[in-house]
Structure 1
Amino acid sequence: MIDKLKFIFLSIFGFVFFLMPFNINGESKIAISHIVNFVTDNTLELFIGFTIICAWIVLITTVLFAFYSSKSKFVNSVFKTSPLNAILRVLGSFLYLMVINSWFANYGFAGVILDGNTGGLMAGADGLLTTLYITFFVGIMALPLLTHFGIVEFIGILLGAVVEKLFKVPGYSTIDAIASFVGDGTIGIVVTDNQYQRGYYNKREAYIIATSFSIVGIAFASAVAEELGFGHIFPIFYGSIALVTVILAFITSRMPLKKFPPTYYEGVTPNRIEIPQGKTVFNHAYESAIKQAGDAKIGKVIIDALKNIINIYVGFLPIIMAVGTLALVVAEYTEFFNIISAPLVPLYTLIGYSKEVAAVMAPASVAGFADMYLPALFTSGSPSEASRFFIGVLAFTQLVFMSETGMILVKSKIGLSFWDVIKVFIFRTMISIPILIVITNILASLGIISFI
């Protein structure tokens, strides 16, 4: 009975926490957004101090663990990394501390980093990274409500047959997909790669799942939605991401994909999950959900969540700071993004955006290849809600960004090269744009968002 209550009530609470906006002090937002506002309004100085400590820890430990190994596997997994990631972590931590403390402010070269449109936009009291620090802490602590107490198994098995027909992948892959949506896309890719090596998917299926379902999760999406001003319509924002992603997955699953044949990893025996005889799909889904709820121990769930937060703080946020700051410097002081995205400007003006707004949207449309947060940085100040919505959703549906998911795809056993990842990005961008034109126009016509 306890397991049933855990499944039902904790899962419902998770959906309410992440997906249902409610009104506090006249503002209608989801719970995470209200908590972010509370922290920034009441304990911001203390929290900034906390982030400074985090930056120093990452800076020192990244250098230290280049020469040292711990006896703890977890500690090594957090602090030991590839040379490229180590450089980005050190650079990001240093730049964060530089902006927060106004290091080298009297030197001319520092102005490029301390500029309010570059490093100053990323860090500080009003910095975008401050929102991410808070959002990830709250979001990841609450995320087990959706991932650990049975709702993933219940929906995954219940919709398994539908997924198999729509996307030509095993029904069990629904669990990978849902885990990515409510958790983290990188975890989804790692799980898919592992399942491929164990024989649950063939190479073609693994490619479809890894490049179509492993979207960045709801906690990150809520941070982006908040920065773009869509906390009050977050279910619509995230629902649009889900809709475009499903359409892209449907198309991808029907492509030739000659480089990814339906062969299994190094000759392993196919391992398929089937509904037991004598049970209905609903009964099996419900029983699996109850079992998962029973297996989930609250203490372990909390510890795992804290470990995930540490991984994010150490391995993700400094990279966002590094890549984001450098990309903003390039955007602010060079014409690089404007040049490579120039063909998109007339397209966006053609569909109703002003030239000024289109000129902001175009570089944001391609900047996501470096890091998924960059498009939000580029467009957060746009006066057009529709443009912010369009680019915010596009950044998620593009899926691959080289600061994280792109590199993981290249390192996986599925067989993607760097050029394959580029092709995935281009393909998803080209297909997403016309779909999003329709979605944003519908929402604008309903008065949910405005072009002005």
Structure 2
Amino acid sequence: MKALFGSLVGLLIFFVPFSVGSGKSTVPLVTIIGAIKAFLGANLEYITLGLTVLLCITWIASKVTGNAALQRYHRKDNAMVGLLFVLGAVFAALLVFKIGPDWFLHKDVGGLALYLGGSVFLTVTVAGFLVLFLTEFGFLEFVGTLMEPLMRPLYRLPGRSAVDAVASFVAAPAVGIFITNKLYKSGHYTQREAASIATNFSICSLGFFALLASIGGIMDYLPHMIISSFVINFVLAAVVTRMPPLSRKQDIYFDGQPAQDAAEGTGVPGGNILMRACTAAAERASMTGPDVFYKYFWEAATFAQKIVAYILSIATIALIVGTYTPVFDYLGVLFEPLLNLFALPDADKIAPTVLLSLAEIALPAIIIAGADVAPMSVFFVCTLSTIQIIFFTESANAMLESDIPLSVKDLMVIFLIRTVLAIPLVALAAHLIF
């Protein structure tokens, strides 16, 4: 009963849409986050500022005071990371108090970074806390046991990794990464599995799909974007997980123990798979106590706090470079012949956007918004952004902040591999739809 009740609460919060107010159906998680945003209003900017300044202060204090608690909190934060914390706090102060030139304060540059910082903090904190109903009451074990026959042969991954993908899809990529990191540290995933899941199943959230379609002016094709992205993401995962650098990651657990070829769930061979899934869920739920509520809230909030600092520092710089310099235009020249090969209209206009998602997922759509670009190509740009997965305003920073063994070099290589492999598949989907 404990497993059933807890899992049902998690399913209702994350996956079951309800009609609220205007009649628009949304999942309770989105409604809760939206209600908190509406309640906080403009105060969210000051909260974002406070978070970055506090993080900056605690990092400096951890280096000069020798406080054990602060040192534990910043144990992975070296001088470069500390510089990003300071830079994030400075940028946040300038943006909140509207200090600086117009090109910096612009709503699509500094304004976008400030908005994303507050939005991501709320989303990761709320969703990261509520996800305990999916992770601590046996739902992962239930799904993992059922999905094992599919996930192992196709992706060389545990069945429970399917839940990570769905959590990202419904909430945010950072939420999926938070779950993956949590399970990696608790011994559910090996280094290779955790790295593969984080970089292939931290799918763009439904909210971002709507945002991109709205910016690009193709809301009528929102369902097509979602279905195309979901299918292509799972196709790519089967390939990318078998390629370097992911294939070269070690099959050892967080504590250094080698991987065991043990079946998920109860480990009982044979029998009815549904019964084994239910038994596995019940066993997991029996180990969950009331302390997980405080533990999950604290871990989600502190995890989100550092991501906010990264967004305010790295994303602001990336948005400035992408908006005001020709750097990405030069990089786009490499992809124009490839886009022409797949007969995409306005290839010269959309080629510069191909690599922009590395900085921010919405940047490609923003760059072509209002331009004279064919709807097919707008669809291509927006859908490709959702498939590239790795972007430094959120998912990449969350991966680097986690304990999963992924370096900046790894992320750059995986981003390029996914981009090159995704282009023909997204182009095919565009031609089939238009």
TM range (shorter): 0.7 to 0.9
Q: Deviations over 1:315-369 (max 9, x none)?
A: 11111121111111112221001111123346557644546xx63x434421333
Counterpart-to-counterpart distance in 1, 2:56 and 2:249: 43
Check 1:248–1:80 CA distance in 2 against 1; reply closer, same or farther (3 A cut). Answer: closer
CA distance in 1, matches of 2:241, 2:75: 37
Matched ranges for 1:217-228 at <5 A: 217=202, 221-228=205-212
Name the structure 2 match of 1:448.
Answer: none
Q: Are 1:99 and 2:91 an aligned pair? A: no
Residue by residue, what CA displacement relative to the aligned partner does 1:163-183 show, whole Å, maximum 9, x if unpaired? 22223x26xx22245336524
Q: Structure 1 residue 292: deviation in Å?
A: 2.1
Q: Name the counterpart of 1:376.
A: 362
CA distance in 1, matches of 2:210, 2:246: 41
Aligned-residue CA RMSD (Å): 4.1
Task: Quote the residue 1:439 is aligned against.
Answer: 429
Residue in 2 aligned with 1:47? Answer: 44
Confirm or deny that 1:162 pairs with 2:153: no
Q: How far did 1:400 drift? A: 4.1
Deviations 1:88-125 (A, max 9, x none): 1221121011111022x4xxxx44422333213322xx
Note the alpha carbon deviations across 1:385-423, whole angstroms, 9 max, x for none: 766664455345334456764896799897x77655433
8 Å Cα contact 1:102-1:114 kept in structure 2? yes
Q: 2:334 aligns with which of 326, 329, 343?
A: 343
Change (3 A) 1:146 1:417: closer
Q: Match for 1:322 among 313, 330, 337? A: 313
342 and 244 in structure 1: CA distance in 2 versus 1, 3 angstrom threshold: same
Aligned counterparts of 1:258 and 1:59: Cα–Cα separation in 2: 33
**Counterpart residue type for residue 425 of structure 1:** F
* Contact 1:59–1:94 (8 Å) recurs in 2: no
CA distance in 2, matches of 1:136, 1:194: 20
Q: State the one-letter code of the partner of 1:434.
A: P
Q: Any conservation in 2 of the 1:181–1:215 contact (CA below 8 Å)? A: no
Could you tell which deviates more after superposition, 301-310 or 405-414?
405-414
CA distance in 1: counterparts of 2:303 and 2:402, whole angstroms:
19
> Is residue 2:277 matched to residue 1:285?
yes
Q: Which residue of 2 aligns with 1:331?
A: 322
Q: What is the TM-score when the length of structure 1 is the normalising length?
A: 0.74
Work out which of the residue numbers 22, 26, 32 in structure 2 matches 1:25: 22
1:450 counterpart residue number: none
CA separation of 1:154/1:239 partners in 2, compared to 1, >3 Å: closer, same or farther? farther
Aligned partners of 1:364 and 1:391 also within 8 Å: yes
- Amino acid of the structure 2 residue aligned with 1:367: L
Mean Cα deviation higher: 290-299 or 335-344: 290-299
Report if the CA contact (8 A) 1:158-1:282 is conserved.
Answer: yes
Change (3 A) 1:398 1:318: same
Are 2:187 and 1:188 equivalent residues in the alignment?
no
- In 1, the alpha carbon distance for the partners of 2:39 and 2:177 equals 32
- Map of 1:237-248 to 2, 5 A cutoff? 240-248=228-236
Q: Does 1:179 align with 2:164?
A: yes
Preserved CA contact (<8 Å) 1:55 1:97: no
Matches of 1:37 and 1:264, distance apart in 2: 40
SS at match of 1:97: helix
Contact 1:375–1:395 (8 Å) recurs in 2 = yes
Percent of paired sites with the same residue: 19
Give yes or no for the alignment of 1:273 onto 2:269: no
Q: Which runs of 5+ in 1 are unaligned?
A: 446-452
SS of equivalent residue, structure 2 residue 63: coil
Q: What's the CA shift string for 1:146-167, capped at 9, x where partnerless?
A: 3332221111111112222223
Partner-residue secondary structure (3-state), 1:271: coil
Aligned with 1:63 (options 57, 60, 79): 60
> What SS does the corresponding residue of 2:362 show, helix, strand or coil?
helix
Superposed, 1:255-270 pairs within 5 Å as 260=248, 270=259
Amino acid at match of 2:316: T
2:416 match: secondary structure:
helix
1:117 is paired with a residue whose SS is coil
Cα pair 1:368 1:375 within 8 Å, conserved: yes
2:418 maps to amino acid: R
Query: What is residue 117 of structure 2 aligned with on the other side?
Result: 129
- Structure 2 residue 141 is matched with structure 1 residue 153: yes
2:170 aligns to what? none
**For residues 42 and 93 of structure 1, do their structure 2 counterparts lie closer, same or farther at Cα, with a shift above 3 Å needed?**
same
Q: Specify the code of the residue in structure 2 equivalent to 1:71.
A: A
- Say if 1:39 and 1:175 are closer, same or farther in 2 by CA, change over 3 A: closer
Q: 1:81-120 maps to which residues of 2 (within 5 A)?
A: 81-103=77-99, 105=100, 110-120=101-111
Change (3 A) 1:162 1:213: farther
Q: 1:380 & 1:42 partners in 2: Cα distance?
A: 28
Count of paired positions: 413
Q: Cα–Cα, structure 1 residues 192 and 362, in superposed 2: closer, same or farther, change >3 Å?
A: farther
Supply the distance in 2 between the matched residues of 1:2 and 1:411 (Cα, whole angstroms).
30
Map 1:277-316 to 2 at 5 A: 277=269, 279-313=271-305, 315-316=306-307
